[in-house]
Amino acid sequence: MKLTGAEIVIECLKEQGVDTVFGYPGGTILNVYDALYKHSEEIRHILTSHEQGAAHAADGYARATGKVGVCMATSGPGATNLVTGIATAYMDSVPMVAITANVAVSLLGKDSFQEIDIAGVTMPITKHNYIVKDVDKLAETLRRAFLIAKEGRPGPVLVDITKDVTANMAEYTPEKPFSVERSIYNIKNADLEKAAELINHAKKPFIFVGGGAVISDAARELKEFVDKVQAPVGDSLMGKGAFDGTDERYCGMLGMHGTKASNLGVTQCDLLVTVGARFSDRVVGNPSSFAKHAKVVQIDVDPAEINKNIVVDASVIGDVKEVLKRLNPMINAKDHSEWIAHIEELKQKFPLKYDKDVLTGPYIMEEIYRITNGDAIITTEVGQHQMWAAQYYKYKKPHTFITSGGLGTMGYGLGASLGAKMGKPDRTVFNIAGDGCFRMNMNEIATAVRYNIPIIQVVINNHVLGMVRQWQTLFYGKRYSHTVLNDAVDFVKLAEAMGAEGILVTKKEEVAPAIERAIAAGHPVVIECQIDSDDKVFPMVPAGESIEKAFDQDDLS
């Protein structure tokens, strides 16, 4: 059948099983929005307040569901406003397709109104991108974009379509989506055997879990692996929920704001098994002293990550779930009770702790955990509140902690919470923000109200840029250069002005009632929690130092 390019876009989205799109219309993409209007019962479109919010919402949708998130924008500033969201998805390996429209082919390269080479702009931050100038190639390009976004190590793909292509006619034949096979072609028996040999001979193994284990849905295989190896488990920010945070063998996050138990465990182990993690600088600290007594085994889908940041003794390349399926039968069940007991002593000696007498970020997170029984989806912005959310909420399942890890994008979480709630409408969704982050994209509260998306926005308001201030306090002689936000902004009134419910919390005893009220509300709620400006995230490792040098308030005192 003959269809316009715009109609082909919509039909291809339907082919791929897309039920929700986040975006913002404009001149060059009007044909696509006109076609979308006729299919509003099949594809729900969420009009965000800003294109960046659309990109973050598509990202959050993808992380919560495991499906490809989709966002759309017009040319020029519409397209460039997606860039931060695309880069965020790229750094954290999130499957996303961003569809933009550009000026007509005849106007390309002429500095036309709202013309931008968005394919060129996004080349370094996409897994692949396309500019479509021929309507006959449109359907094939879109189908391939979804395949590339999903296969192997996932990531964002941009498809830029000229406006004349959206108007031109072409023959369209429906097709089934490409089947996406798990990446197994690089899994070598020799690599599995070498890894198994090192694991079977280890006396003090430690298992480090990253985001790859979440992406591949390897939680069951990972638990079987841990049960056989009988080792303590730490995770990265992106790995949370892949291994049950309530398990007695779990000892917390690793790295700059990781627990002392995890950091010392890695430093003292004789074998570090890394499952779907890339040895980020925030995890490793000083590479020369990282896991200095250990041999290192790395399991990762991306060959480029092997020996990139840390030189390893063995590696297995492939989808984490598939690798563990093959590796588990090769592992002899072990009894490392003495080593586990030593790690337990470290956990007891160096627990996470905070001032219990006043209202703090950790207390708020513990109350959210208690009231939700750990069954909520938590999204975050970036900063101190993000670390408290990672440290004090126990993530029992994958896809329940959604945060910007690699790029560290302030303003990410609110849009991501909208996407997560759209993807998982039966789950309670909290976005945890600092006052600095919330200011960046707080206009998406209006989006939540427009569609009655009942997310719960918690603003941990310390009237400063908390994490930057923490660094200024510890390393910059308390020179608080442009980090104080002590102004007259009232977030409760702002919430109410946008149509949401606002709740102010200034005391510990007000936290639980506010959370319970927000969960019961059935509409968007903003909870502003006012804490002290000098609260800090501990433990902490100075940048570039060995992770065993993690310190806390007691060490400073």
Nearest to 103 by CA among 137, 66, 78, 68: 78
Half-sphere exposure of 431 (CA within 13 A, CB side): 37
pLDDT of res. 543: 86
Specify the 3-state DSSP secondary structure of 1. coil
| 7 pLDDT more than 90 | yes
Kindly state the average pLDDT of the residues 272-277: 98
Percent of the chain at pLDDT above 90? 97
pTM to 2 decimal places = 0.97
Domain positions in the chain are 2-171, 189-349, 361-538
- Tokens, residue 554: 């007691």
What value, to the nearest 5°, has the Cα angle with vertex 80 and ends 281 and 31? 135
Contact 138, 149 (CB under 8 A): no
How many C-beta atoms surround the C-beta of residue 297 within 10 A?
A: 27
Nearest to 494 by CA among 401, 414, 428, 376: 414
How many C-beta atoms surround the C-beta of residue 27 within 10 A?
A: 14
Pairing of strands 169-171, 2-4: antiparallel
The strand order across the sheet containing 271-275 reads 250-253, 233-235, 205-209, 271-275, 295-300, 314-317
pLDDT band of 10, cuts 50, 70, 90: very high
Helices (H), 110-162: 118-122, 138-150
Give the length of the chain. Answer: 557
209: β partners: 235, 275
Question: Which class in CATH covers the domain with range 2-171?
Answer: alpha beta
The domain 361-538 having CATH identifier 3.40.50.1100: the answer here is no
In the CATH scheme, what architecture does the domain 189-349 have?
3-Layer(aba) Sandwich (3.40)
Helices (H), 238-313: 260-268, 281-284
pLDDT of res. 107: 87
N- to C-terminal Cα distance for the chain?
75
Taking phi over 0 as left and psi of -120 to 50 as alpha, with beta for the rest, 17 belongs to left
pLDDT of res. 544: 87
pLDDT of res. 108: 87
Contact 343, 207 (CB under 8 A): no
- At a CB cut-off of 8 Å and minimum separation 6, what does 42 contact? 14, 19
Tens digits of per-residue pLDDT, 104-140? 989 889 889 999 999 999 999 999 999 999 999 999 9
CA distance 183 to 215: 12
Taking phi over 0 as left and psi of -120 to 50 as alpha, with beta for the rest, 374 belongs to left
pLDDT of res. 148: 98
- At a CB cut-off of 8 Å and minimum separation 6, what does 125 contact? 83, 86, 87, 90, 156
Q: What are phi and psi of 24, to 5 degrees?
A: -155, 120
Kindly state the average pLDDT of the residues 456-464: 98
Nearest to 71 by CA among 134, 142, 23, 12: 23
Cis check: omega of the bond before 329, within 30 degrees of 0: no
Percent of the chain at pLDDT above 70? 100
| 292 pLDDT more than 90 | yes
Half-sphere exposure of 204 (CA within 13 A, CB side): 16
CA distance 385 to 403: 11
CA distance 554 to 399: 34
129: β partners: 158
| CA 47 distance to own-chain centroid | 22
pLDDT band of 557, cuts 50, 70, 90: confident
Contact 122, 158 (CB under 8 A): yes
H helix and E strand count, the chain: 24, 20
Three state DSSP letters for 440-469? HHCCHHHHHHHCCCCCEEEEEECCECHHHH
- Tokens, residue 396: 């029992």
Contact 429, 421 (CB under 8 A): yes
| 317 pLDDT more than 90 | yes
CA distance 430 to 414: 9
Q: Does 2-171 match 361-538 in CATH topology?
A: yes
pLDDT of res. 550: 95
- Tokens, residue 201: 């001979």
Tens digits of per-residue pLDDT, 207-249? 999 999 999 999 999 999 999 999 999 999 999 999 999 999 9
Q: What are phi and psi of 16, to 5 degrees?
A: -80, 0
Give Cα separations from 530 to 154, 251, 361, 492, 496 (angstroms): 38, 30, 9, 12, 18
Tens digits of per-residue pLDDT, 352-383? 999 999 999 999 999 999 999 999 999 999 99
In single-letter form, the type of residue at position 462 comes to: N
Contact 184, 319 (CB under 8 A): yes
How many C-beta atoms surround the C-beta of residue 516 within 10 A?
A: 12
Which residues are catalytic, by number?
51, 113-114, 163, 467
Tens digits of per-residue pLDDT, 144-176? 999 999 999 999 999 999 999 999 999 999 999
- At a CB cut-off of 8 Å and minimum separation 6, what does 317 contact? 186, 187, 188, 191, 300, 301, 302, 303, 306
Let me know if 133 is exposed, middle or buried by CB neighbors in 10 A (0-12, 13-18, 19+).
middle
